[in-house]
Copies of this chain bind each other. A is one copy, B any other.
Amino acid sequence: MSEVSYETVMLEEPTLPKPRYLFVGLPDAGLVGQIAAEYLIRETRMAEVAHFYLQKLSPTIVQVSGGLAKPPIRLYYSQNMLVFNSWVAIPPALATDVAELVCSLATKFDVYALISVTGIPVPNRLDLERLGVYWITSNEELAKETEKMSLAPRFDEGYIAGPYAPILLESKRRGLRNLVVTVESFLDLPDPEASAAAIEVVSKFTGFSVSTDNLLKEAEAIRARIRGLMEETKKNISGRAGPTTYA
């Protein structure tokens, strides 16, 4: 809805079979979606599709990989899946700009559905052996389809805030399909186990082939590596109204 100001630098024209999906990885509670996105990129050796330069993303943070500087928001793909991932926390003031960008990409690449993965912080997370997974959709058609697939129970009543909320609302406004997979998670500890649970559901929904074995094996290392991003993200989460009721 608002005026967007970013520049897209295309590195490669991706070739994906249909139906295609756009997986969105943004730092949020437990970094559940971001860890999932980064894992998909590494594990399936995705190709770099585009770099995004967001004018208002201040202060500027540059990611360095193998001595090479890169803007921290990038697009990747393999098989039938595009992955949009941010290696930096999205300030709340930029969340609607990012939602615009993500929805534009969904249209540009003619994807069947946007897929978001977000954590629902639960106080008893440590005691949970099996993490509850629930879905939300942007429209009734996708809700029916998801219900038929028996992937997970639906998120019944409540609210969604955070960086995935404007994407969900903007998808609905534009008539795009957006499947939001919510997983019980820690609030401000990186939660790779929650990411794994979400990937299982996403994999079933999209047919994208990936094993979460390595994600679970490397959980400890990921938690350590991603601590800085969790700190930055915490500043945006704290004091925010999370989902208040579900299932």
Contacts and interface: CB of A to CB of B under 8 A. Distances in A.
Contacts of A87: 159
28 contacts: A1-B55, A53-B169, A58-B92, A59-B92, A60-B95, A60-B161, A60-B165, A61-B159, A61-B160, A61-B161, A61-B165, A62-B159, A62-B160, A62-B165, A64-B160, A66-B154, A66-B156, A67-B137, A67-B154, A67-B156, A69-B137, A69-B138, A69-B160, A69-B168, A69-B180, A71-B172, A87-B159, A228-B241
B71 A169 contact: yes
A53 B174 CA distance: 11
Closest 8 CB pairs of A and B: A67-B154, A60-B166, A228-B244, A60-B165, A62-B160, A1-B55, A62-B165, A69-B168
Contacts of A69: 136-138, 160, 168-169, 172, 178, 180
Given A59-B161, A159-B62, A240-B59, A139 B68 contact: yes
A173 B136 contact: no
Interface string A225-236: 100100110000
Contacts of A15: none
Interface residues of A, number: 66
A60 B1 contact: no
Given A59-B95, A68-B140, A232 B241 contact: yes
A107 interface: no
Query: Which residue, of A93, A178, A244, has the highest number of chain B Cβ atoms within 10 A?
Result: A244
B168 A137 contact: no
A231 B55 CA distance: 29
A169 B62 contact: yes
A214 interface: no
